[in-house]
Structure 1
C-alpha cells in the first residue's frame, strides 16, 4: 500500500462506503455484488478500504427503530451485519429528527426549513427570531402572551407589558419574562436558556422557578428542575441571529449539534470520546460545509459525507 497516499486511501474508503450503501439499498443486482467483490480485491489498499468501511458501519449503533428498516437479509453473516448497520444509519436519521416530523409543522404557526432563519414582528411590538429547522406557535390573549417552541431555537426580544407576562413553553418547561431578551434552544431532551438583557424565570419539574439575569444561562429537562446557573457569553449564544456560530472552548458534541441544525441530514460522531474535544472558532452560517472542512483541517477528525448522513470520526 506504500504507493497510495493518505488522500488516495481516504478516497478509496469513501468509494467502499458508497458501494456498500448501494448494495444494501434494495436496488443492487447480483452483478453489483460481484463488482464490489472484484473491486475489493484489486489491491491491498482496496481490501483495507473495504474492511475499514465495514468497521465504520459497525460503529453506528443499532436501535429498536432500525429493525423496521432492515431489508431482506442475504445468507452470509457479514452482509447481514452491513444490512443491519445501514438500517441503523437510517434509524439515526428518523430518531434524530432529520426526516420531517409532521407534528411540529401541523401545530406550528411558523416553521423554518434547514438553512433558513426568519424574523417575526409580534403584535405587541415584541420580536422573535427563528433559527434554522425550528417551529413555533403564537397565542396572544388579553391576559397573556404565550409562545410554544416545538423544535429548534428562537431568540426573543420582549416588549414590556406588566399586565401580560410573556411565557415560552419548550421541552417540558416554561420561561417567563416581562421585558427582556433571551434565547431558548431545544436540543433533544434538554433545553438551554440564555439571557441577554433583563430577567427571566425558568420553571421545570416541581421546584420553584429559577431566576436568571443578563449573562446567565441554565439547562433543564422535562420533569427535572433547572440548574445549575452558569455564566454565559450572551453575544456568542445569539450569534446565529447575525449569521454566525461562535465557540470558545465548547465541546465538539455541542458544536456539532448547533452546526447540524444548518445542514441537511444528520451529523453522527462515531467515537463518543470525541464529544468533549474543545473547539474554538467563528463559523459563517452562509457556508456550514466550510465549518466542517475547517474542523477536519484543524482537529484530529476525519469526515465522510453520505446522502443525509455525515460521519465524524477520529483520524487514524
Structure 2
C-alpha cells in the first residue's frame, strides 16, 4: 500500500490535507550568509500560521548538508498538527565545500537510501523524498552525479525525486536524463520552480511525460510569477494535466519569514490560493492543494 513518509511515520495519501508541496522550515547555505533558517521558535510560528489558514502538510525540500535539523521536525509536527515530510538528496555544488562533496564520492546513493529507510543521522527521522538540482539551462557534471545517485536510490526504495530547476529552466533535459537514461518513472519526478520560466510549451511537454510540475514561491521582480502563473496553470489544466500540478511557498531566507515581515508559508494560502481560485475556480485549486500532493509523494516503500 502506498504511503507518504512523514517525520512522524507513514500516512495514507489522503491524510495530508492542504499541502505546501515545496518549502523550508530550516535551511542554510554559504550563498545566503546571515539569512539562515535555524530558529525552532520561528519554524513553529510559520507552521502555526500556516495551520491557522487551513494548512495540513508541508514538504521540506532541504537536502543533505544544508541544516535540515531533522531531529527537531517531529516535535514541531506534533505541536502544530501539521504533517512534515523531510528530504534527503544534494543541492548544486555551489552550496557545499569541496571537502563535504569529496567525502560523498562513491557512496552518495548509499547515503540517500540510508536516510530514506533508516533515518537522517541519529534522529531516526526517515526522509520521504530525494531532492536534487540542475543548473541554468543545463546539467553539469555535479547534477548528473547527483541525479544518477537519486535514480539509484529511487530504484532501491521507490522514493520520489524532486528537482530544483535553476530559474525554472532545463526541465526537458532533466526528464531526458532521469526518465530516459536512468529509467525513473515520470510520475516519480517532481519538477520545481516552473513558475520562474513561464514557457507554456515546455510546461506542456513536461506534463505530457507524466511528471509533476510544482509552481512554488511568491513572485520576484525578475520572475513575474504571480501574475503569469494563473495563465500557465490554466493552460496545463485545459490540456488535461490538472492532476499533475503542485503549489509551494519555497521560503529560503530568514527575511522571507512571515514573522520578519516577509510572505512566509502563510502567503501560499493567504494570497496565492484566492488569486488562483478567482482565475481557475475553487475545484481545480482544491485538487492541486489536496489531491495531487498525495499522489506525488506517496510511495509503495521497498
The question of a shared fold, defined as TM-score above 0.5 by the shorter chain, is answered with: no
Between Structure 1 and Structure 2, the one with more helix by share is 2
- Tell me the TM-score normalized by structure 1: 0.29
Higher relative contact order (CA 8 A, sep 6+): 2
